[in-house]
Homo-oligomer: A and B are copies of this chain.
Amino acid sequence: MPEQSPLDLAEGDLFGPHNLPYGVFSTADEPERRRVGVRIGGHVLDAGAAALTLGSPYAALLARPTLNPLLAAGRTAWRDVRRALTAWVTSPAHRADIEPLLHPVTAVTLHLPYEVADYVDFYASEHHATNVGRIFRPDGDALTPNWKHLPIGYHGRAGTVVVSGTDVVRPSGQRKAPTDPAPVFGPSVKLDIEAEVGFVVGTPSTHGTPVPLADYREHVFGLFLLNDWSARDIQAWEYVPLGPFLGKSFATSVSAWVTPLEALDAAHTAPPARDFPLLPYLDDSDEEEPGGYDIRIEVRINGEVVSAPPFATMYWTAAQQLAQMTVNGASLRTGDLFGSGTVSGPEVNQRGSLLELTWNGRDPIELATGKRTFLEDGDEVTMTAWAPGPHGTRVGLGEVTGRIVPASE
């Protein structure tokens, strides 16, 4: 019996040829040589090597240490490269050339796949924003008056975006409980997660010129899972009046795999009905393609599922977030990231943060590894997701995982 090819995938493989997410990898024998990889099943295709072997004109975009050259190449190139890759991994004629360029995903090191330019985080789930409002501002309206008129966002720290698998050091900082006479300093005691979907910009835009809703797919290359680690005690003390800063800036974990938007054509879904008419630059009621994505996320702590946030429930879409971010003329650069904000559905077991799941620690959750209000040292948080693909398939998003290590002395 001949050995099975890594290209012969089981039916229903989340990483079949309908998916083909991009990453950057290196191998043990050449740890310094980072290059673009494309995931197929349980393997990584050395995409640049494949392009060279097959005489493809895309080698210049693929035999590189980051995705940025491909991101900057624009939508036509993205489509052409994807078409070529699909042919390489599906056509029997290419098998002999392609198989030697496949590495088991467990045998390679995966790196942050892009150089991050700016990082913006939004706040686009009505259920999440309502829960947070109730917890942090119990005496006011849960949603601020602006919430349903614009996607609220803020800039985060680009330099501390880390790839899935990177340990997260528990941050220290100031906090002040209402009962404390003065602020105290120490490791965060309310270390939390935020389950999000992130988007990466490929094509830049011109400073001074807004990007309309309809141009979303000209600029955004793909999406990925993102965990916006949050220290709730540090955040609560610092965030008035200028917003979150150190409570969020210590680490943001992203998946090693970027799923191109083209793989998600079957996953589009209409966002929830809007409660207020939107200003024209945000009004997506006439857009050809519904702006939401039916992405089903699962959040595990130490292997146990604690939540299943449904991305389809997000009030604001990625296209609206892009339009908002640029309506004042701010330019986009290749490598800009933006996060959706925490994804929380209407049900308790659909909440994307421990803040909400435990109602700020009031209602601990029970895990096999013990009771939890917030994260303990050693806890490992893993997010996975899938979305509908073509012809009844499922498109897997690459997981994002991270383990908490104790605060530095």
Docked Cα-Cα span, A146 to B145, in Å, equals: 25
Interface size on A, residues (CB 8 A): 66
* Complex contact A185–B155 (CB within 8 A): no
CB within 8 A of A408: which of B250, B329, B333? B329
Residue of B nearest to A174 (CB): B150
Decide yes or no whether A228 CB sits under 8 A from chain B: no
* Complex contact A324–B246 (CB within 8 A): yes
CB within 8 A of A158: which of B158, B183, B276? B158
CB within 8 A of A154: which of B149, B160, B243? B243
Tell me which of A55-63, A69-77, A230-238, A390-398 binds B. Answer: A230-238
Q: Is the interface of A mostly helix, strand, loop or mixed?
A: loop
**Distance (whole angstroms) from the CB of A251 to the closest CB of chain B:** 8
Residues of B within 8 A of A120 (CB): 245
**C-beta contact mask, A143-159 vs B, less than 8 Å → 1, else 0?**
01110011011111111
Question: A267-297: which have CB < 8 Å to B?
Answer: 276, 279-281
* Complex contact A279–B159 (CB within 8 A): no
Decide yes or no whether A169 CB sits under 8 A from chain B: yes
Question: A98-133: which have CB < 8 Å to B?
Answer: 117-118, 120, 123, 133
* Complex contact A156–B155 (CB within 8 A): yes
Docked Cα-Cα span, A276 to B182, in Å, equals: 10
- Counting from the closest, the 8 A-B pairs by CB-CB distance are A243-B243, A171-B328, A155-B155, A169-B208, A154-B242, A242-B243, A246-B328, A250-B328
Could you name 14 residue pairs across A and B whose Cβ atoms are closer than 8 Å? A144-B240, A145-B176, A146-B237, A149-B182, A152-B238, A152-B242, A154-B154, A154-B245, A185-B281, A239-B241, A242-B243, A246-B327, A246-B328, A249-B330
Q: Which residues of A contact B (CB under 8 A)?
A: 117-118, 120, 123, 133, 136-137, 144-146, 149-150, 152-160, 162, 169, 171-174, 176, 182-183, 185, 207-210, 231, 234, 237-247, 249-251, 276, 279-281, 324-325, 327-333, 336, 408
